[in-house]
Structure 1
Amino acid sequence: MSYAVLSFALVVVALLLLYLHNHYSYWARRGIPQEDPIYGLGNMKGIGREFHFRDINSRLYKRYKRDGAPIGGIYMFFLRGAFVVDLDLIKHILIKDFSSFHDRGIFNNVRDEPLTGHLLTLEGEEWRCMRNKLTPVFTSGKMKFMYPTVVAVAENLSRTCGQLAPEFEVKELSARYTTDVIGTCAFGIDCNSLSDPNADFRRYGRSIFEKPRHSQLVQALILFNPKLARKLRCKLFNDEVSEFFIDAVRNTVEYRIKNKVKRNDFMDMLIDMMAEDQEAAAKHEGIDVSQGLTLLQMAAQAFVFFIAGFHTSLTTMSFCLYELAINPKIQDQLREEIVSVLNAHNNNVTYEALKEMSYLDKVLNETLRKYTVLPHLVRTATSDYRVPNSSLVLEKGTTVVIPVDAIHHDPEIFPDPDRFDPSRFDTEHAEKRHGCAFFPFGDGPRNCIGLRFGKMQAKVGLIHLLRDYKFSRSARTEVPIVLSKRNFVIEAQNGIYLRVERV
């Protein structure tokens, strides 16, 4: 090797090291505490093997809170972020100063993968217009219209549970129930997953999470560098999955229009927003709600209803039944409330009866606290933002990480956080907590639009199961339960097995 080549190589290495040093000392140079990062990995060493995001977030949260810092630094591989631990600042970001943090910075590639152009990933004016258009579908009035459909599926859930006795895997049953509910309400299709575990909707829904398009390395690129991933024209989902969901929407829309079918559900709302001139709307760059939605844009909104609601509801139901099985006194108290309220409503699971079950609401909230579905929320600073009562400025484009799970397990907020205790949500306790101490569905204008629907379908399912069955530990029940370190959302590594018997 010549001297010139060697010198050039040394210069390149030196410049690379200088760049990495500057990149990974970004927060320290601004006087913000940070955990020493590893070049290339940042603070993500061991993620997916030794640690989950929950573990890393918990470690950083405890350190920065102990240091009395409202913000610390986090490096997610090459992506640097502001890790927020102060609840007042979280309230500013999510609510008071939302105009500076209205984007999530999540990957989408509408050009190559239309299903990624949905409410979860849209930004700026496109998001605002779409949110305003979709919000009416989740009002109390619309909930009541969809409620009988959810109850009908829940009745099938109870029958199916009886067929699986005396022992069954809770997550799979909950997934089939959730698939049927959302498939019916969002797509207008009778999915029949409870009757047939291998029904098309269940099979394709399962493949979204169990058979990803890419390796974990490529998934990490898409997650932590969405702009680069979009430039590389990456896709998230397998082509056959995208085709299935787009065809499902297309067939439903064509059938309803042709036969003048109205069901007052989510799909009807999308049809009302449909552009009369599909060809002209397709030529428009981006989403222009005033021009109406294309079929592909409608499919994207229905798709996110499915993927967002699916995991949240099945996970919450599964872990709730698990906790009730290992805490029989809580299960008995909840069943007493269910039976008592239903007796006052002629044993009908009415919308009004659901609203009267206050202990059920506490049990569900405690499940969402202990088993928070997402480890953290992410926002992007859309303009330079001066942190209140400080000289620190978060530069435009800065990623902000809000560690929801770590906050939900803070013993100063929720004493003995690993104990399942629905009384935490008694009024006298809840009113003493900070407004941003419990936010499993986010908070502010960009909270989860379907949170009321998600809680409704979980409650209806639990009511039918607990009215008819008693759940207890089986020989295969893990105590404590082992959580997966591989998936971003919370999940039991080895499934959740319970014993079930009729009441």
Structure 2
Amino acid sequence: MPLTLVLVACVSAFISTVAYLFWRRMNYWRQRGIPHDEPSYLYGSFHRLTKAFGYSEILRSMYERFKYSGPFCGYYFFQRPAVMVLDMELVKNILIKDFANFSDRGLFHNKRDDPLTGHLFFVDGSKWRILHGKLSPIFSEYKVRGMFPYVRNVALQMVDVLNELVKRGSSIEVKELMGRYTTDVIGKCALGIECNSLKNPNAECRTIGRRISTDRRHGLLVSALIEGFPKLARLLRMAVTHPDIEKFFMRLVRENVEYRQKNNVRGNDLMNLLMELSKSKNLRYDENDEFKGLTVEEMTAQAFFFFAAGSEKSSATLSYTLYELALQPELQERLRCEVNETLEQHDNELTYECLNEMQYMKQVLAETLRKYPVLPHLARQALHDYVVPGHPKYVIPAGMLVTIPVVGIHYDAEIYPNPELFDPERFTPERMKLREKIEWLPFGDGPRKCIGFRFGHMEMSVALVYLMQHFRFSVSAMTKSGKRLPKNGIFLKVERV
């Protein structure tokens, strides 16, 4: 047989094999009789993903359509078969009861070629257990209380800046101001540096903070392939972090460490803990992967993660809170009354104890986090085959990506009647007792619950105390409604009280 025919035959056989394997992959749920949407071969279950119809809307729609079909439905994370959990008991099993089988997230991270992805949120297995155990103490109740004076000082600076902005005009873009506040807070409390974003909106830390949520190394399709095939992406030495962002944080941490070592500086912050861990000599990941302390790259990854979570996520929640309170001035006035009454009982001085006494404040923030969850879903990965209790047909195989649709649960009308309405009364102590704790998941639950939830709540509460005490927020001609923050921000009318 001529060599050309042999080559053609080999190529044809290879293409046919790949096509068959791909066809089988994209028919995974059909072959098992599990309810699912017909996938697009390129975008899987996300062929409707557009600027107007985002990831959260797709998850919510899927949850609502398949809610009564079984304990979970199937879907395709682009070309990756995945499970969407629909049953609250199964959610509880995955996050808490059977956590040992679902301790990994299964998301892309590549410490070698993309060092900023090697942080607590992404890493799995023994590496996560070691990091979680060592980093959790920095966000204990005691440590958060110690950070309170720093947060209060930054909030007072924010009040001064907002006073100046009000003098220039009543319509203020609050999202950017909240971002400057949270950037200065997390810069001081996590990294021990002065970001000066409130004084200078173009400060380097703030500029990079904006880019974290907007700048992507790749387009949608390549990013989807990386997340859909994380092991292959690591094998191909791919990365997702923008090079400019990586360079900034690597330089920031190196300079911070060098300065502290040279001047014998210690602080009550994350950076101090990371430096202590970098000196540790007796920790191990497992028998084959010795851990003799954090490298500079691993320190930087943790610093990057907490900076991103503590600045952009918290500022978005604060912005939505102000927006909802502007739409319902009666709720805003009730919160303001609680703030003023509590402060009067403490000689008009805000203390850490004051925050714990503000029950309505807790309700307002809880409702904001219900309506605008920080993450639209939680990701887990099965370590071993898992048969759903009471449903032998429903098997989650080892290695399968498992999605818990937070946004679907938070907008479930059977759990939260009239879910589009912003109603803090949902979170009175009495009504919370009537619901499963697992039905409110802005910070996750179980052992992989966000370790910074206390700090985030304190950071947002302090800001709201001073904003309610000094200013009144209402809608203006520039205020736009919508489920997602508009690209040009949230404009509100702001007046001094």
Q: Place the TM-score, normalised by the shorter chain, in its bin.
A: over 0.9
2-side partners of 1:246 and 1:11: how far apart?
Answer: 47
Q: What is the correspondence of 1:415-426 to structure 2 with a 5 Å cutoff?
A: 415-426=417-428
Shift, 1:224, TM fit? 2.4
| Contact preservation (8 Å) 1:381, 1:399 | yes
Number of the residue aligned with 1:22:
24
Number of the residue aligned with 1:194:
198
| Contact preservation (8 Å) 1:107, 1:121 | yes
Shift, 1:173, TM fit? 0.7
Give 3-state SS (helix, strand or coil) of 2:311's partner. Answer: helix
1-side partners of 2:288 and 2:164: how far apart?
Answer: 51
Q: What is the correspondence of 1:40-119 to structure 2 with a 5 Å cutoff?
A: 40-67=42-69, 69-119=70-120
Number of the residue aligned with 1:440:
442
Give 3-state SS (helix, strand or coil) of 2:456's partner. Answer: helix
Residues 248, 11 of structure 1: CA spacing in aligned structure 2 closer, same or farther, 3 A cutoff?
Answer: closer
| Contact preservation (8 Å) 2:78, 2:225 | no
Alignment partner of 1:497 out of 480, 491, 494: 491
Alignment partner of 1:473 out of 472, 475, 479: 475
| Contact preservation (8 Å) 2:317, 2:372 | yes
Give 3-state SS (helix, strand or coil) of 2:438's partner. Answer: coil
Give 3-state SS (helix, strand or coil) of 2:318's partner. Answer: helix
1-side partners of 2:13 and 2:275: how far apart?
Answer: 60
Q: What is the correspondence of 1:60-459 to structure 2 with a 5 Å cutoff?
A: 60-67=62-69, 69-165=70-166, 166-275=170-279, 288=291, 291-391=292-392, 392-459=394-461
* Unpaired stretches in structure 1, ≥5 consecutive residues: 484-490
2-side partners of 1:128 and 1:440: how far apart?
Answer: 22
1-side partners of 2:303 and 2:52: how far apart?
Answer: 36
Shift, 1:492, TM fit? 3.1
Q: Deviations over 1:313-355 (max 9, x none)?
A: 0110000000000110000000000011011111111101111
1-side partners of 2:6 and 2:138: how far apart?
Answer: 68
| Contact preservation (8 Å) 2:150, 2:185 | yes
Residues 161, 215 of structure 1: CA spacing in aligned structure 2 closer, same or farther, 3 A cutoff?
Answer: same
Q: What residue identity is the alignment partner of 1:24? A: M
Give the ranges of 4+ consecutive aligned residues of structure 1 lying more than 4 Å apart after TM superposition.
Answer: 2-17, 284-287
Give 3-state SS (helix, strand or coil) of 1:157's partner. Answer: helix
Shift, 1:3, TM fit? 9.9
Shift, 1:134, TM fit? 0.8
| Contact preservation (8 Å) 1:275, 1:294 | no
Residues 287, 52 of structure 1: CA spacing in aligned structure 2 closer, same or farther, 3 A cutoff?
Answer: farther
Shift, 1:460, TM fit? 0.8
| Contact preservation (8 Å) 2:79, 2:225 | no
Give 3-state SS (helix, strand or coil) of 1:196's partner. Answer: coil
2-side partners of 1:96 and 1:158: how far apart?
Answer: 45
Shift, 1:17, TM fit? 5.1
2-side partners of 1:72 and 1:440: how far apart?
Answer: 22
| Contact preservation (8 Å) 1:102, 1:124 | yes
* Unpaired stretches in structure 2, ≥5 consecutive residues: none
Q: Deviations over 1:154-188 (max 9, x none)?
A: 11111111122211111111111111011111111
Count of equivalent residues: 488
TM-score (norm 1): 0.92
Shift, 1:462, TM fit? 1.1
| Contact preservation (8 Å) 1:109, 1:116 | yes
Q: What residue identity is the alignment partner of 1:385? A: Y
Shift, 1:13, TM fit? 6.6
